[in-house]
């Protein structure tokens, strides 16, 4: 018999009241004209004994190891068995105790008591479930792979219910794991919580399942890593539900989204909370323009913005295939039809003027940029033209047509830049600063700086994944190299949130957490593929490429770090750039790019970054407010 913990004591008290009422009703329904005196004394004298016996048997049958909100068909059969056993034992005790009263318990009262109590017990649990969530019938038998489910919350109960209801899915849940001690030994749809993650090693050793399923969408990377290591040590496969952002943007059929654990899952951080009220306030009903709309960041911007209901979403993209894909996804898969597509280069001033004149966007997210370090080192003219000069074009046109907010997507490589990518993006930040501090401009300009995003096109994870699929080797630049990582949805949600905070000429920096060693990333990916990095797939070191740093930085020398209204968004305060000096330098770069003067462009860019002209330290105080 399992003791009843204090969190389900109210269930015990409720059942005690139901037992008393059922006992009383059985006597009153048996006699048409009131309960005769001797039987009335029998009812009164035995009611406490009946309550005690039946509650003891209810406890023995595990009635209080289940959450009423998750009661299932399987639980109802268990309740029927428990009520029947309790009634039989209680009736026998009362019947054989009849010499005390002189009147035996009538069999009709015993039957009535059983029927009434069964109706009460089943009815109260079904009502509790109906009030909390829609009931769903679970199959009595499920077949397929045996699964231990990690988690016993809402997502887990939905997955377990789906597994039991749909045997064709191929899963049979045999137990649950949850770190909440209050849930130990309770049952979800008849499946018992076996213990915590500390108990998982011996559970897998004593009764190994076919798979372990992590059913906690909000789980941190540390928790997922712990479960993965325990399961791998026991030679048990691990799968997971997607994270919160994937669930929000995807299918509501949780069981259909079960997938193998990926390196993004074990590197993931605590879920970021976004103030949807402030985001919706400045985007809902507004015309929003996104440049680079087909890229990794741009496409996710479009998905998240579409969810808050803008009046129109204008997609600017120079890649025809990428523009086609994001438009088809928004219109065909996400049922968002207020989309306008613009195939063109955001550095084309005449084209962008036509677009702004036609659509009058109130908010601009400028995500278009070249970003691959090695390629830009070999193509400095394109780095400046597509990144820096195109940003000035977009800023000029946004001001001309009265855009309310302009949000630049920047990069951590703009902090103390050592390569063409970082240098070109540092100038983009300066453009935003210079425009944002001009008193004659109403547009609110901000830049958002962050590190690498997991699984973006051309990033290290897809490269490692392809190398692992081919059997290796996995190429790592340097054993000590580190990078900051963040998921694409997380980074984009914070970019959108920074737009809501919206200072003037302010640079915001996202809290990227702790940097990750690239070597550790490679080892994790090899292990998650089911192979051993020591014996199955080799890791080779190829050396740092031109322009690469061993360790990225988030802050430029001389910047003052300040908080914002969001704990994951920080402010980089510094004296604003001298607008006239910057405009002169950008003019020089534009002429050099037009003439194809590669060496002069690199030289001028380096000179500007080596000695930036600031408006003076006295202005720093203004940027902090």
Catalytic residue numbers, as ranges: 413
Task: At 307, list the tokens.
Answer: 């969810």
Q: Are 425 and 412 in contact (CB under 8 A)?
A: no
Contact assessment for residue 148 and residue 176, using Cβ atoms and an 8 Å cutoff? yes
Query: Rounded CA gap, 454 and 486, in Å?
Result: 6
State the DSSP string of 537-562: S-EEE--PPTT--SB--SS-TT-EEE
Single out the residue of 604, 597, 591, 615 nearest to residue 389, CA to CA.
591
CA–CA distances in Å: residue 31 to residues 24, 34, 94, 98, 207? 12, 6, 19, 19, 55
User: Is 274:496 a contact under the CB 8 Å cutoff?
Assistant: yes
Pick the closest to residue 416 from 449, 383, 447 (CA basis): 449
Nearest Cα to Cα of residue 142 among 122, 165, 120, 119: 165
Return d(Cα 119, Cα 74) in angstroms, integer.
16
- Of the candidates 335, 333, 250, 336, the residue with the CA atom closest to the CA atom of residue 315: 336
Alpha helices in 97-140 (DSSP H): 107-132
3-state secondary structure (DSSP) of residue 393: helix
Tokens of 597: 């003067």
Q: H/E element holding 153?
A: none
Cα 427 to Cα 574: distance, rounded to the nearest angstrom: 15
Sign of CA dihedral 465, 466, 472, 474: negative
Q: Cβ distance 308 to 492 under 8 Å? A: no
Q: What's the rounded Cα separation, in Å, for the pair 400 and 394?
A: 10
d(CA 427, CA 384): 9
Residue from 210, 198, 228 nearest 174 by CA: 210
Pull the structure tokens for residue 391: 């940003």
* Tokens standing for residue 461: 């994870």
Q: Strand, helix or coil at 191?
A: strand
Q: Where are the beta strands (DSSP E) in 336-462?
A: 339-343, 363-366, 405-409, 444-449, 452-454
Give the list of residues 6+ apart from residue 173 with CB closer than 8 angstroms, or none: 142, 147, 148, 149, 159, 160, 163, 164, 191
The backbone torsions φ and ψ at residue 211, rounded to the nearest 5 degrees and listed phi first, read -150, 160
**β-pairing verdict for 363-366 and 339-343:** unpaired
Backbone angles phi, psi at 407, to 5 degrees: -115, 120
């Amino acid at each position: 018999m399992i003791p009843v913990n204090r969190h389900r004591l109210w269930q015990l008290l409720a059942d005690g009241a139901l037992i008393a009422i059922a006992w009383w009703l059985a006597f009153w329904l048996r006699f048409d004209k009131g309960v005769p005196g001797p039987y009335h004394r029998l009812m009164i004298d035995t009611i406490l004994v009946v309550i005690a016996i039946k509650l003891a048997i209810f406890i023995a049958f595990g009635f209080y190891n289940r959450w009423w909100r998750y009661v299932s068909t399987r639980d109802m059969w268990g309740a029927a068995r428990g009520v029947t056993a309790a009634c039989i034992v209680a009736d026998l005790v009362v019947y054989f105790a009849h010499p005390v009263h002189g009147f035996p318990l009538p069999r009709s009262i015993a039957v009535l008591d059983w029927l009434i109590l069964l109706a009460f017990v089943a009815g109260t649990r079904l009502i509790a479930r109906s009030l909390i969530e829609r009931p769903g019938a679970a199959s009595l038998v499920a077949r397929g792979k045996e699964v231990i489910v990690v988690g016993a919350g809402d997502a887990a109960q939905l997955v377990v219910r789906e597994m039991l209801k749909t045997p064709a899915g191929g899963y049979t849940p045999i137990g649950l794991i949850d770190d909440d001690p209050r849930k130990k030994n309770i049952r979800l749809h008849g499946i018992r919580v076996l213990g915590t993650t500390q108990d998982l090693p011996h559970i897998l050793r004593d009764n190994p399942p076919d798979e372990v399923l992590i059913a906690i969408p909000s789980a941190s990377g540390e928790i997922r890593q712990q479960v993965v290591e325990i399961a791998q040590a026991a030679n048990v496969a691990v799968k997971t539900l997607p994270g919160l952002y994937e669930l929000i943007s995807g299918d509501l059929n949780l069981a259909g989204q079960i997938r193998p654990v990926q390196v993004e899952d074990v590197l993931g951080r605590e879920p970021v909370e976004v103030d949807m009220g402030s985001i919706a306030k400045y985007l809902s009903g507004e015309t929003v323009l996104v440049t680079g709309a087909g890229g990794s960041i741009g496409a996710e911007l479009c998905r998240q913005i579409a969810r808050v209901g803008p009046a129109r979403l204008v997609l600017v993209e120079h890649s025809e295939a990428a523009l086609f894909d994001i438009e088809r996804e928004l219109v065909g898969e996400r049922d968002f039809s207020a989309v306008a597509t613009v195939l063109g280069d955001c550095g084309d001033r005449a084209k962008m003027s036509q677009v702004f004149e036609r659509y009058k966007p109130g908010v601009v997210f400028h995500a278009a940029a070249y970003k691959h370090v090695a390629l830009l080192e070999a193509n400095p003219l394109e780095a400046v033209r597509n990144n820096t000069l195109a940003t000035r074009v977009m800023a000029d046109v946004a001001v001309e047509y009265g855009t309310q907010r302009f949000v630049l997507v920047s990069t951590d490589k703009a902090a103390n830049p050592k390569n063409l990518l970082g240098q070109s993006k540092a100038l983009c930040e300066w453009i935003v600063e210079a425009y944002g501090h001009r008193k004659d401009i109403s547009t609110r300009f901000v830049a958002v700086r962050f590190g690498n995003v997991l699984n973006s096109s051309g990033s290290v994870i897809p490269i490692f994944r392809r190398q692992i699929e081919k059997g290796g080797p996995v190429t790592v630049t340097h054993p000590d190299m580190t990078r900051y990582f963040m998921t694409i949805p997380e980074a984009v949600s914070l970019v959108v949130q920074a737009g809501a905070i919206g200072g003037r000429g302010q640079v915001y920096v996202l809290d990227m957490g702790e940097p990750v060693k690239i070597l550790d990333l490679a080892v994790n990916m090899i292990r998650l593929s089911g192979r051993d990095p020591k014996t199955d797939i080799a890791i080779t070191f190829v050396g740092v490429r031109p322009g690469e740093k061993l360790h990225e930085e988030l802050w430029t020398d001389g910047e003052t770090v300040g908080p914002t209204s969001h704990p994951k968004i920080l402010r980089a305060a510094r004296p604003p750039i001298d607008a006239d000096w910057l405009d002169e330098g950008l003019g020089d770069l534009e002429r050099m790019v037009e003439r194809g003067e590669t060496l002069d462009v690199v030289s001028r860019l380096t000179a500007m970054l080596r000695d930036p002209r600031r408006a003076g330290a006295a202005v720093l105080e203004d940027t902090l407010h």
